[in-house]
C-alpha cells in the first residue's frame, strides 16, 4: 500500500476506503488499520474512523522544503562522491536504465528509479549521518517525483538527460561540475513542483 502511495497511484486528496482496500488486497481490516496507523505516523495519510484514510496532499511549501534540503545534502555528497569511481557509475547507469524503462510504461516506476539514482550519490559520499538525513526525505521526494511525472510524463526524458550529465561528471571525477549540474537539476525539479502545486 505504501508503495502505491509513493508511486503516485494514490494521489494526494484520495480517500482510501478501508473496506474496498481490504477486499482488493485480500486481507482483513485489522492489518490494514495497522498499515494506516503507520502511514499516519509518517504523515502520509489522515485517518477518518469507519471511512478510511485520506492521502495527505503535498503542499507547495513542503515540496519547497524537501527540495531545499535535498539540494544542501546532495550537492555536498556529489562533491565527495566524485572520487567513488566505477562502482558508483555502474549504480547510476543501472538507475538510468530503470528510468528509461519507465518511459515505455507511462512513467510507472520512474519515481522509484529516480530515488535510487539520487540515493546512490548520497551513499557514495560515505557519510552515514547525511545518508540517514537524506533517507528521512526519501518518501516525500518519491511522492513529489511521482506527482511531477504523472502530470508531465514528457519531463522524464529531460530528467534522464540531466542524470546522464551528472553521471558523466562524477565518472570523470569532476566534483564541482557534478555538484553544479545536480544543483541545476534539482532547481529545475523545484521550479516544476512549484508550478504544479
**Structural domain boundaries enclosing 134:** 60-196
Q: What is the pLDDT of residue 197?
A: 55
Same domain for 50 and 130?
A: no
Same domain for 85 and 39?
A: no
Summarize pLDDT for 11-29 with one digit per residue, the tens.
899 999 988 998 998 999 8
Task: Give mean pLDDT, residues 172-176.
Answer: 96
Same domain for 117 and 173?
A: yes
Same domain for 119 and 190?
A: yes
Same domain for 19 and 67?
A: no
Same domain for 42 and 91?
A: no
**Which residue's entry shows cell 514528457?**
154
Q: Grid coordinates standing for 47? A: 485517518
Same domain for 32 and 123?
A: no
Same domain for 51 and 87?
A: no
When divided into structural domains, the chain yields a total of 2
Whole-number Å distance between alpha carbons of 37 and 45: 9
Summarize pLDDT for 58-80 with one digit per residue, the tens.
888 998 999 999 999 999 999 99
Same domain for 37 and 129?
A: no
Lowest mean pLDDT among 79-83, 91-95, 192-196: 192-196
- Cβ burial of 158 (10 Å; 0-12, 13-18, 19+) is middle
Summarize pLDDT for 94-133 with one digit per residue, the tens.
999 999 998 877 667 888 899 999 999 999 999 999 999 9
The CATH number of residue 92's host domain is 1.20.120.530
Amino acid at each position: 500500500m505504501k508503495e502505491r502511495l509513493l508511486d503516485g497511484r494514490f494521489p494526494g486528496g484520495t480517500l482510501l476506503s478501508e473496506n474496498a482496500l481490504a477486499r482488493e488486497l485480500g486481507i482483513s481490516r485489522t492489518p490494514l488499520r495497522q498499515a494506516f496507523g503507520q502511514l499516519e505516523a509518517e504523515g502520509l495519510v489522515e485517518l477518518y474512523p469507519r471511512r478510511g484514510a485520506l492521502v495527505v496532499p503535498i503542499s507547495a511549501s513542503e515540496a519547497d522544503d524537501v527540495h531545499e534540503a535535498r539540494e544542501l545534502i546532495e550537492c555536498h555528497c556529489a562533491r565527495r562522491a566524485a572520487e567513488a569511481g566505477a562502482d558508483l557509475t555502474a549504480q547510476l547507469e543501472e538507475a538510468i536504465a530503470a528510468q528509461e524503462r519507465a518511459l515505455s510504461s507511462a512513467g510507472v516506476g520512474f519515481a522509484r528509479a529516480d530515488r535510487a539514482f539520487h540515493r546512490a550519490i548520497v551513499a557514495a559520499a560515505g557519510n552515514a549521518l547525511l545518508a540517514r538525513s537524506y533517507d528521512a526525505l526519501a518518501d516525500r521526494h518519491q511522492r513529489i517525483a511521482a506527482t511531477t511525472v504523472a502530470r508531465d510524463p514528457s519531463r522524464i526524458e529531460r530528467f534522464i538527460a540531466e542524470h546522464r550529465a551528472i553521471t558523466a561528471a562524477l565518472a570523470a571525477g569532476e566534483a564541482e561540475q557534478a555538484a553544479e549540474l545536480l544543483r541545476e537539476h534539482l532547481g529545475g525539479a523545484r521550479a516544476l513542483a512549484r508550478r504544479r502545486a
